[in-house]
Structure 1
């Protein structure tokens, strides 16, 4: 199964990295339209998003649109003392940014800007691939699996929503025992729900 999952990761990452600039721009605009129509975004105040990398669907226009709606945006930061875990920091245009060990931009760690994950309303997760059962295949580090574990156990706290390009959908994700489907995945053309 590990080999199958790695093969899917490579195949789908290659697919999304082949999207040209115009296609990426259109997809990002359509994502904003999809999300702003959803009650989950309309009723949420504290929303965790991520800064796109490696061909991921560009979240910058969505962040800007949510700021215009006076929503508070939080960005994941690698936990400095608990490997494999995330912290969420308040993100503003003036936030000082640094690169983490994966070369991904994140807000400079400042304890005053941390929000506990359970106080977030939504956690928008990146993903590499997904299927029509809302199974999510991430990069393999388990950061979001660990972050979302309390929600999956109790249904209380921040609701997870996956964001992806349409081309990231595949027929079926080979699942492991720890894999839990997301309740919703939003693409530029469709909202997938369990």
Structure 2
């Protein structure tokens, strides 16, 4: 019998293959359209903290989206990898230095303020129509979200992906974090909580 881990690995590989095959110029246009959708559909109040991510490989480029939310007064932060188990979110300030975080991504320098996001733009490899996601396999976001929940904080989670990353069904596991909203080039989809 195939394990959940093996199924997820297979689904991840297929979804990322489809994403990698997208035309790079189309991805740029789609990312810009998604920024407009985020600006019009994700409500942020001045001072709210929004975490994004620096795009790697063929990911949606969320930088225009983050900057659109900053126009509404959001403070921005990016994940910073502390070790092979932990990420924190450091404030992204215009003009401040960015440093290599590994995995082809960058983040704010260690002197940047560590913030707890109110809204998290969550990267993912694949997702299904129930809001279940497959990450990249390291579990950074699952642990970061669990840590925030343990501290009594419940940020709004919005998965960021292209439509081609949707799969029929992600295998359920106890540690999984359900993402109630996913933003793709087709718009912002909200998933009803499962009973």
- Normalised by the length of structure 1, the TM-score is 0.87
CA pair 150-106 structure 1, distance change in 2 beyond 3 A: closer
Computed over aligned residues only, the root mean square deviation of the Cα atoms, in angstroms, reads 2.1
With 149-158 and 86-95 compared, the bigger mean Cα shift is at 149-158
Question: What residue in structure 2 maps to residue 6 of structure 1?
Answer: 9
- Structure 1 residue 154 displacement after superposition: 8.8
- 1:44·1:122 contact (CA, 8 Å) conserved in 2? no
User: In the TM superposition, what is the alpha-carbon distance from 1:190 to its structure 2 partner?
Assistant: 2.5
Residue of structure 2 equivalent to 1:92: 93
Are the counterparts in 1 of residues 119 and 157 from structure 2 also a CA contact under 8 Å? Answer: yes
Residues 118-133 of structure 1: matches in 2 within 5 Å?
120-133=117-130
Q: Judging changes above 3 Å, is the alpha-carbon distance between structure 1 residues 114 and 151 closer, same or farther for their aligned structure 2 residues? A: closer
Q: What SS does structure 2 have at the residue aligned with 1:15?
A: helix
Could you tell me whether the CA contact under 8 Å between 1:88 and 1:114 is conserved in 2? yes
Task: Give the counterpart of 1:69 among 66, 69, 72.
Answer: 72
Residues of 1 paired with 2:95 and 2:158: CA distance?
26
Cα deviations across residues 113-150 of structure 1 (Å, max 9, x unaligned)?
Answer: 211x2xx2101110000001000100011110011115
Distance 1:155 1:30 in 2: 34
Instruction: Find 1:21's aligned residue among 12, 16, 24.
Output: 24
Residue 114 of structure 1 corresponds to: 114
Instruction: Measure the CA separation in 2 of the matches of 1:184 and 1:44.
Output: 22
Alignment gaps of 5+ in structure 1: none
Q: 1:14 to 1:123 in 2, by over 3 A?
A: same
Give 1 or 2: higher helix fraction: 1
Structure 2: gaps of 5 or more residues:
none
- After superposition, the Cα gap between the structure-2 partners of 1:189 and 1:84, relative to the gap in structure 1 and judged at 3 Å, is same
Match of 1:55 among 45, 49, 58: 58
Partner of 1:174: 171
In the superposition, relative to structure 1, how do residues 54 and 39 fare at CA in structure 2: closer, same or farther (>3 Å)? closer
Deviation at 1:155, TM superposition (A): 7.7
**C-alpha distance 114-85 of structure 1, shift in aligned 2 (>3 A):** same
Give the total of aligned pairs.
188
